[in-house]
């Protein structure tokens, strides 16, 4: 599992692409809020354990890159770089994207269920 933020995302993504032979998953999440001890995004809090469990139970060797979008004001900015990046077009967090052969593919939608 690798972690990235806006400042180091491209270099961490390159490392992740070079690391594994299996699927690469990009998980875009809200940052943790030190005042409350967990993510400011309740959907992220609910989704993370489900995503980790699903990937852990996979028969394939996977690489997970967690990309933190920032605090609430940073993410709410319509000019947030990952909202504008055509590779992702993020509209909400959490978002899980499976990258195949350096082309982003994925579903953007609701929360995963157990």
Looking up residue 13, the CATH number of its domain turns out to be 3.40.30.10
Q: What is the pLDDT of residues 31-72, one digit of tens each?
A: 999 999 999 999 999 999 999 999 999 888 899 999 999 999
41 is catalytic: yes
Q: Is position 110 within any domain?
A: no
Q: Is position 99 within any domain?
A: yes
Pick the catalytic residue from 27, 29, 44, 93.
44
Q: Is position 112 within any domain?
A: no
Domain holding 70, by residue range, is: 2-105
Q: Is position 54 within any domain?
A: yes
44 is catalytic: yes
Pick the catalytic residue from 26, 27, 29, 41.
41
Q: Is position 114 within any domain?
A: no
Percent of the chain with pLDDT over 70: 88
Q: Is position 71 within any domain?
A: yes
State the pTM of this model.
0.86
| Other beta carbons within 10 Å of 69 | 25
How does the average pLDDT of the chain come out, rounded? 90
Question: Could you write out the DSSP letters of every residue in 63-106?
Answer: EEEEEE--SHHHHH-TT-HHHH-TTT---SSSEEEEEETTEEE-
Number of domains forming the structure of the chain:
1
């Amino acid at each position: 599992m690798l972690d990235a933020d806006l400042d180091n995302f491209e270099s961490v993504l390159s490392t992740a692409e070079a690391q594994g032979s299996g699927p690469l998953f990009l998980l875009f999440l809200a940052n943790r809020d030190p005042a409350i001890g967990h993510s400011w995004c309740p959907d992220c809090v609910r989704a993370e354990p489900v995503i980790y469990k699903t990937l852990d139970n996979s028969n394939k060797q996977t690489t997970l890159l967690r990309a933190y979008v920032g605090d609430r004001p940073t993410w709410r900015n319509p000019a947030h770089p990952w909202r504008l990046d055509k590779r992702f077009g993020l509209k909400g967090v959490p978002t899980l994207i499976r990258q195949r052969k350096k082309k982003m593919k994925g579903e953007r939608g609701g929360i995963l269920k157990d």
